[in-house]
Amino acid sequence: MNGCPPTKEARLARVMRHDESAVVEDLDVPVAALDATRALLWATSAHDASSVAIDLVRALGGTVVPANDIQGETLPIDLSFDEGSPC
């Protein structure tokens, strides 16, 4: 490591390692949580934090929908951190 913080793209790439058609393995959960925690340490804005949270949901096999599209078993949790439209 060269002492420089990883780029935003590198941080998000670590969090976004997922396949929506695959079942999340038990080991994937702590790895995804650790990757998201590390990415949050480098977050410099609400937008960065929101991106990490959304990517974590997707890495864990979830989906994110706009707040006005909540149906059925959707959990009403706003991941926008007041940055843009609620999602």
- The answer as to whether 52 is a domain residue is yes
| Domain tally, the chain | 1
What tens digit of pLDDT does each residue of 14-44 get? 555 554 444 455 667 888 899 999 999 999 9
Residue 1 lies in a domain: no
Kindly report whether the global pTM for this prediction surpasses the value 0.85: no
Residue 62's pLDDT is: 87
Lookup result for tokens 């994110």 = 64
Number of neighbouring beta carbons within 10 Å of residue 50: 19
In a domain, 76, yes or no: yes
56-85 residue pLDDT tens:
999 888 888 887 887 887 888 888 888 877
Residue 3 lies in a domain: no
For tokens 């999602």, name the residue: 87
User: Residue 55's pLDDT band (boundaries 50, 70, 90)?
Assistant: very high
Residue in the block written with tokens 């959990």: 75
Structural domain boundaries, residue 72: 8-15+25-87
**What is the distance, to the nearest Å, from the Cα of residue 27 to the centroid of all Cα atoms in its chain?**
17
Q: Does 20 reside within a domain?
A: no
